[in-house]
Amino acid sequence: MKRTWIFTLILSIFALSAAAKVNTAYQLSFDPEKHYVDVEMTVSGLEGPEALLKMPVWAPGYYLILNSPKHLSGFETTDAQGNPLKWERVGKTGWKVATEGNSEIKAKYRIFANRQSVGEAQVDEKKAFLPGNEIYLYVDGAKDAPATVTLNLPQQWQTVSTGLKPEGDNTWSATDYDLLVDSPIYIGNQAVKKFKLDGRDYEIAVAEVKDLDLDKYADEMGAIVTAASELMGHVPYDRYAFIWMGRGGGGLEHINSQACFSDEGLYSPERADHQRWLRFAAHEYYHLYNVKCIRPFELGPFDYDQENYTDQLWVSEGLTCYYEGALLQRAGLCTPEELMDIWAGFIRGLEKTPGRNVQPLWASSYDIWLNFFPSDGNSNDVLVSYYVKGPVVGAMMDLAIRDATDNRRSLDDLMRLLYNRYYLEKGRGFTTPEFWEAATEVAEGNPLQDIRDYVFTLKPIDYDKHLGVAGLRLDRDNWKLVEVADATPRQIKIRESIFGKK
């Protein structure tokens, strides 16, 4: 074991040394009418007789094999003087280039971009949406190399929105390939509202404005950002972009941005619709902490060639669903009653799903690569979503921790511990045993066995037991959380610490 560890360390140091010498620059041009992105990639600092250029087959956070290389065509390579270099295909993800001793090479290729999703590229006359996994090749073994992206824009597009660092002259930079892939670019004529908060730069970019009050949204997003930063005690970025695109479905989290398709909630004057959109934005925002920083060990460094399996997406997604409501309440954007209704909505969704009696929560995470868009006729009967059961288990976990520690500790403390210990101090994700060790530590030695059972078995959730900690009960006739009349001061204190005072 010791020799293997040392050998792995040597390989890692060698890879870091090689990556430190490599730099990559991308020039992007566009053919909106035919839905193409033309890419010229310049790689410098290479050593050796060949370089393997690769392309991801999936996007982090979008747990579906997209096979993006099938949209790449017209590949060719040259040296710095324009002399052609030989190359060959390696599997579905690779292009191996014979560098002939050249330290700098160029690669040109086209990407057909005409799909609409948060993980796929789309270019048309009105705009370009560029998720990095669909655009950029990388040098195998040099993902840590820095990169720049320069955009050659058509005249009809005036605005660029991205979380990448601006370098001037329509150029942006990333410290490494993982960050580049994790930083989508939206180009078009979107409305932009920029604001500063605690010395950091923010922007809200909206493709379809429709008389939106962007000043109000800036205040609301600022309040959510403040609530999250106070919760976590740290902010891991210098700038952040809220990219809200045209009508569609879904959103995807990024370390320095979010890319979300809009629905009526963005535009509706109705409070319930507006809150639904705020929860959506808060969810994608909190993901920059929970999954981008606090992450299962299997999710990074990413293997872009294949599925990355983990049984912990109920933490990454489920606990983020839990915090989307909590952040709104702490930001002053929802009342205690509205937060209770959010809890009750998740519980109702779970209890109305027959699959809760068939699939345990951990398997919902592990099997997501098979069921990212479940469409079989029996899906509801045999599957349970971590988007539904995850926040319910998160709520019960928060109550269990508070109960075990007389409200001295909470789920907040667990999230901060994971963030500080594994992201800031160790620079890696947590393993499944490490998650439960941390949870037990926060619960002051209580192993939280009920919560473990809700994750790893089909044990029904004991709502009376857990909600009773906060002096609440579940009204199944109306799917409401109801305050019990004889709640103790301890129960009331716990309830108010979660939902706020009425």
Q: Model confidence over 233-266: pLDDT tens digits?
A: 999 999 999 999 998 889 999 999 999 999 999 9
Residue whose structure tokens are 């010791």: 2
Helix (H) or strand (E) holding 182, with range, is none
pLDDT for residue 3 is more than 60: no
Average of per-residue pLDDT values in the chain? 95
The SS3 of residue 225 is: helix
Per-residue pLDDT tens over the stretch 403-462: 999 999 999 999 999 999 999 999 999 999 999 999 999 999 999 999 999 999 999 999
Domains assigned to the chain: 23-179 (2.60.40.3650), 313-499 (1.10.390.10)
pLDDT of residue 210: 80
Q: Summarize the confidence of residues 142-160 as an average pLDDT.
A: 96
pLDDT for residue 4 is more than 60: no
pLDDT of residue 502: 83
The answer to whether 295 and 316 have CB atoms below 8 angstroms apart is yes
pLDDT of residue 5: 34
Q: Summarize the confidence of residues 316-320 as an average pLDDT.
A: 98
- Choice among 49-58, 315-324, 372-381 with the minimum mean pLDDT: 372-381
- For residue 64, name the pLDDT band (cuts at 50, 70, 90): very high
Between strands 147-151 and 23-31, the pairing is parallel
- The CA-based dihedral angle spanning residues 88, 98, 134, 63, taken in that order and rounded to the nearest 10 degrees: 70
Bridge partners (DSSP) listed for residue 110: 38, 73
For residues 450 and 470, what is the distance between their CA atoms, to the nearest angstrom? 17
pTM for this predicted structure: 0.94
Percent of the chain exceeding pLDDT 90 equals 92
pLDDT of residue 211: 84
The SS3 of residue 71 is: helix
Q: Summarize the confidence of residues 186-212 as an average pLDDT.
A: 95
pLDDT for residue 9 is more than 50: no
pLDDT for residue 12 is more than 60: no
Helix (H) or strand (E) holding 38, with range, is strand 36-44
Mark out the alpha helices in 352-442 (DSSP H runs): 361-366, 368-371, 379-382, 389-404, 411-418, 432-442
pLDDT for residue 7 is more than 60: no
Residue whose structure tokens are 């995470």: 365
Single-letter residue type at 371? N
Per-residue pLDDT tens over the stretch 280-312: 999 999 999 999 999 999 998 999 999 999 999
Percent of the chain exceeding pLDDT 70 equals 96
Q: Which CA distances in Å does 360 have to 193, 355, 365, 383, 390?
A: 43, 9, 9, 9, 11
Residue whose structure tokens are 């976590």: 232
